[in-house]
């Protein structure tokens, strides 16, 4: 999963480490030359000996040396470039300059965009890496690669791990029944995802009823009914062409009457530009007032999935996203970008066709996997 992006991130770490270490070695060599030159300059001259012989006291000489040290210290600490780095090297440390990282960061930007990471998200990642690394001092005993990896890890987590909303925790803490409505475009696996989540919730001890609010698509009732039969669940449905809001409303009433914990409601696939279908969502929100609205799209859709998530959030105020077909996605752009763009978390990843192939999204686990050797 996301192997292409993983390879690109690995290349950046290697390039950034190599460039920084090469520059450190070059400065180290220059610093050695400077030290030799300084040693020659510090060697006593005949004039110095004569001055001492003429009566300059040891105390006066010490005072002059202290004064010179005080005068030199601000210049060494405040100057950039060679002076700053040479000063750091004298303490057994090296400073990572922005110029050292410019090439690797440019390559990383191209790699992220090629992996369908949204432009503003890629820029955010680069800015955070610069903020973490540029001007950073490291001991020679430290690995530059470790510093680069830590900065990359923090930058990725900052854009992936947002909001902190967890659907399962929310269901556990909410009054029952909890109503969850699913929306998105056609053909992205929304109905199958609902069945997967129903199975997952049942395995956790919740009772579930399904509602087919997709009353326009031919065969939608049959498809969801097949899943309900396979899982032993009740399905509430109306005739094709009926009112989607009425279907979900009836499912909620059934759940109340039968002490069912969770209602999972399907809706017709739609584009955000379909005004009549978006009005149906608005009506459903007004009449049923579902507890949560989840957007479903394919991870392999990349930038298109990111754009649709943004548009649906603006139109219907989603609470989170589920990405299907994550196991077939080598790029990872949608998984990296969706949460940052919408400000709403990714909740689950679909990783196969079976009912158990729904993986809870773990931002830290994903980043660890992306950066693993």
- CATH number of the domain encompassing residue 213: 3.40.50.300
Q: What mean pLDDT, rounded, does the chain reach?
A: 80
Q: Give a yes or no: residue 97 inside a domain.
A: yes
Give dist(CA 163, CA 363) in Å, integer: 12
Full residue range of the structural domain in which residue 325 is found: 167-362
Cβ contact 76:83 at 8 Å: yes
pLDDT higher than threshold 60 for residue 289: yes
Same domain, 330 and 185: yes
pLDDT computed for residue 232 by the predictor? 97
pLDDT computed for residue 103 by the predictor? 87
Domain final residue, candidates 130, 160, 190: 160
Instruction: Pick the more confident residue, 13 or 224.
Output: 224
Instruction: Pick the more confident residue, 143 or 252.
Output: 252
pLDDT band at 364, cuts 50/70/90?
very high
Q: How far apart are the first and last CA of the chain?
A: 14
134-191 residue pLDDT tens: 766 654 445 667 778 888 999 999 999 988 799 999 999 999 999 999 998 888 999 9
- Burial category of 356 from C-beta neighbours within 10 Å (exposed 0-12, middle 13-18, buried 19 and up): exposed
pLDDT computed for residue 137 by the predictor? 60
Q: Give the domain CATH number at 156.
A: 1.20.120.140
Give dist(CA 55, CA 123) in Å, integer: 66
Strand order in the sheet with 346-350: 234-236, 208-213, 262-267, 178-183, 292-298, 320-324, 346-350, 358-360
pLDDT computed for residue 272 by the predictor? 55
Q: Give a yes or no: residue 371 inside a domain.
A: no
pLDDT higher than threshold 70 for residue 35: no
Lowest mean pLDDT among 52-56, 226-230, 328-332, 336-340: 52-56
Averaged pLDDT, 83-100: 57
pLDDT computed for residue 296 by the predictor? 95
pLDDT computed for residue 94 by the predictor? 58
Same domain, 183 and 127: no
Same domain, 110 and 198: no
pLDDT computed for residue 346 by the predictor? 95
pLDDT band at 291, cuts 50/70/90?
very high
Domain final residue, candidates 160, 184, 207: 160
pLDDT higher than threshold 70 for residue 216: yes
Read off the DSSP letter of residue 92.
Answer: T
107-121 residue pLDDT tens: 999 999 999 999 999
Same domain, 97 and 201: no
pLDDT computed for residue 234 by the predictor? 97
Q: Give a yes or no: residue 15 inside a domain.
A: yes
pLDDT higher than threshold 60 for residue 31: no
């Amino acid at each position: 999963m996301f192997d292409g992006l993983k390879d690109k991130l690995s290349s950046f770490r290697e390039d950034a480490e190599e460039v920084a270490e090469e520059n450190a070695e070059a400065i180290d060599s220059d610093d050695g030359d400077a030290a030799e030159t300084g040693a020659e300059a510090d060697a006593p001259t005949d004039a110095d000996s004569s001055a001492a012989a003429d009566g300059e006291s040891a105390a006066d000489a010490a005072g002059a040396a202290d004064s010179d040290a005080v005068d030199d210290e601000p210049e060494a600490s405040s100057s950039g470039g060679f002076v700053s780095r040479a000063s750091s090297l004298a303490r057994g440390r090296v400073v990572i300059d922005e110029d050292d990282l410019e090439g690797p960061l440019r390559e990383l930007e191209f790699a992220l965009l090629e992996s369908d990471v949204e432009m503003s998200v890629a820029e955010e990642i680069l800015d955070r890496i610069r903020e973490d690394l540029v001007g950073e001092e490291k001991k020679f005993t430290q690995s530059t690669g470790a510093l680069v990896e830590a900065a990359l890890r923090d930058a990725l987590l900052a854009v992936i791990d947002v909001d902190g909303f967890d659907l399962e925790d929310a269901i556990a803490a909410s009054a029952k029944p909890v109503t969850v409505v699913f929306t998105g475009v056609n053909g992205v696996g929304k109905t199958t995802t609902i069945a997967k989540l129903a199975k997952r919730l049942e395995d956790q001890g919740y009772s579930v009823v399904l509602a087919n609010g997709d009353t326009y698509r031919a065969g939608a009732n049959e498809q969801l009914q097949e899943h309900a039969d396979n899982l032993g669940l009740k399905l509430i449905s109306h005739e094709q062409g009926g009112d989607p809001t009425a279907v979900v409303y009836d499912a909620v009433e059934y759940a109340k009457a039968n002490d069912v914990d969770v209602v999972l409601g399907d809706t017709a696939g739609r584009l955000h530009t379909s005004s009549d279908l978006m009005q149906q969502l608005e009506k459903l929100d007004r009449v049923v007032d579902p507890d949560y609205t989840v957007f479903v799209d394919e991870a392999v859709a990349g930038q298109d999935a990111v754009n649709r998530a943004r548009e649906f959030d603006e139109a219907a105020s989603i609470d989170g996203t589920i990405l299907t077909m994550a196991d077939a996605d080598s790029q990872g752009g949608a998984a990296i970008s969706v949460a940052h763009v919408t400000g709403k978390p990714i909740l689950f990843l679909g990783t196969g066709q079976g009912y158990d192939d729904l993986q809870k999204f773990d931002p830290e686990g994903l980043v660890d996997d992306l950066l693993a050797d």
